[in-house]
Structure 1
Amino acid sequence: MIRANNLSEIKLRGASLSGNDEFVFVECKFCSRQYLYNNETLILYKNAQDLSKTEFNVDEQPSSCLGCENPDWDFRELEGHEIDKVNNGEWHWAY
């Protein structure tokens, strides 16, 4: 897992912090579009510029991936050896 440690910028861009936050970088299993995810609160952040736009990651609230628009998508955590994906992606500022 690759953690997002720039909490001050994450908060500045609109995220609500709980104090026990564990932000990680994730990507769609189908198209590799990246998102930011809080493992503690189960909040998925889909817009790198406006973190006030969130989605609660539960089965009752399905939505489509912003990249491939697959309504039955899932994500996976990026692993340490994939740091270049983060550094070259739209969420690089959160690392």
Structure 2
Amino acid sequence: MGDILSALIPPAVVAAVFCTFVVKLLRKEMAPRTSDGRLVSEVDDATGSTQGDATTATPAGSTTVAVEDGAKGADGSSSEVPADRPDAADR
């Protein structure tokens, strides 16, 4: 009986290490990310904010873009060509 257990211990250790590695890799790769590909936890750590701070609104007329907005909140991000606007015929 001891011979069988001693023969099975090395493959069991290798299998456990392999499974641990796969689980850690999958948890890292499937973690929530921002639109620019950064991990959400990295963004929170870098800004020092909590989840409650992520929903703060910027004042009207402000030219700053929030970190969470990325390129979507930037000026000029419209997909319309200026001539395609409805008011272009009035000019």
**TM-score, length-normalised on structure 2?**
0.23
Q: Which has the higher helix share?
A: 2
* Higher RCO by CA contacts (8 Å cutoff, separation 6 or greater): 1
Structure number with larger C-alpha Rg: 2
Q: Which has the higher strand share?
A: 1
